Amino acid sequence: MSTIKTYQNRIETEIEKLFSTSGNPQGLYDPINYVMNRGGKRIRPMLCLAGCGLFNADAVENAVLPAVGLEVFHNFTLLHDDLMDNADMRRNNMTVHKKWNNNTAILSGDAMFAMAYRFIAKAPEKVLLPVLDIFTQTALEVCEGQQYDMEFETRNDVTTEQYLEMIRLKTAVFLGGSPKIGAIIGEAKAKDVTALYDFGCNIGLAFQLQDDWLDVYGNSEEFGKSIGGDIVCNKKTFLLISALNNLNGKEKKELLLWLENKEFNREEKIAAVKNLYEKVKISKKTREKINFFYENSLKEISKVCGSKEILNEIVEFAHNLMERAR
């Protein structure tokens, strides 16, 4: 079994232990257990443990609870995102606000944020302050990214640079902060901590752009949901923003008309927008940008001086993220 897989199993075991029984009041804690036990890739806590194990295998156990804290925070953001988006399903399960109600989703989410801090604060005292500083900064930036994302919903003048900054904040900094926290617990050198953070941010940007691309060009059976959902709901993705900034004349007017129409045939809209995308090679532009950030991530991880075995597994992990179909 790979070291990374071992780390993922360790996290899963700890989550099962911590969230197997409900506290009181059950109305607060049952939704939290529900969220934490519905699965997920556990990417962020795994990267935290890997960041620690790269430099000090004996310290990995000290990073387990902080890593769980990262996963709790991640699931908190999903819980509140689902509420803001009024989403019905998450990981093939009803969202908390649908299974319970909006107020429960807000309060249980708030409790998860507090629990995340409690777990993060289990980092060794020697490194506790920098770990808390990184987590707090990351949490604030994720909120900033979410705010930009909401503001972009009502704008048609968003630039690709603004979009990339939004996903850097909303998604990428968390994938950078996770191994950074682990590396600090493992007492890595400053240059290695920085390189790991930059690796995570770059793979995070590539990951989100890949998600944008898959929603339009992926295989629905492999992707796990209907293709074209972002097009149907006018979600401001890299693809849509690039099209708005590259189309001209009647073709741009046609795209804007599709964005304005409240009543339409789903498949007709998807086909029409994809056709407009192809006129300005949006798929190619997106793939090029994905590869740019992916290559940057590999450059950053190559600067890290740590366990060769774990470094190779991290590189393989990054490769698999870019090869994913869902």
Segment 169-205, tens digit of pLDDT: 999 999 999 999 999 999 999 999 999 999 999 999 9
Please answer whether residues 141 and 167 qualify as being in contact, where contact means their C-beta atoms are separated by less than 8 angstroms: no
CATH for 3-323, options being 3.40.1180.10, 4.10.520.10, 2.60.120.10, 1.10.600.10? 1.10.600.10
Q: What is the pLDDT of residue 220?
A: 65
Count CB-CB contacts under 10 A for residue 26.
10
Instruction: List pLDDT tens digits, range 230-255.
Output: 999 999 999 999 999 999 999 999 99
Cis status of the peptide bond prior to 179, with omega within 30 of 0: no
Backbone angles phi, psi at 308, to 5 degrees: -65, -40
Residue 227 clears pLDDT 90, i.e. is over it: no
Each residue of 117-155: pLDDT tens digit? 999 999 999 999 999 999 999 999 999 999 999 999 999
In angstroms, the CA 212 to CA 164 distance is: 12
User: Residue 142 phi/psi, 5° resolution?
Assistant: -60, -40
Q: Is residue 210 scored above 70 in pLDDT?
A: yes
Q: Is the confidence at residue 35, as pLDDT, over 90?
A: yes
User: In this prediction, what percent of the chain has a pLDDT beyond 90?
Assistant: 90
Side chain identity, residue 308: K
Where do the H-state alpha helices sit in the chain?
Answer: 3-18, 26-36, 43-53, 60-85, 96-99, 102-120, 128-152, 160-167, 173-185, 190-217, 220-223, 229-232, 238-246, 249-260, 266-279, 282-301, 308-323
Compute CA distances 185 → 21, 119, 137, 266, whole Å. 29, 14, 17, 50
Weakest-pLDDT range from 15-19, 32-36, 50-54, 154-158? 154-158
189: left (phi over 0), alpha (psi -120 to 50) or beta: beta
For residue 224, pLDDT beyond 60: no
Give the model's confidence band at 1: pLDDT under 50 very low, under 70 low, under 90 confident, else very high. Answer: confident
Determine the pLDDT at residue 226: 72
Residue 283's identity, in one-letter code, is S
Read off the pLDDT of each residue in 87-116 and give the average, rounded to a whole number: 95
Cα–Cα distance, 203 to 294 (Å, whole number): 6
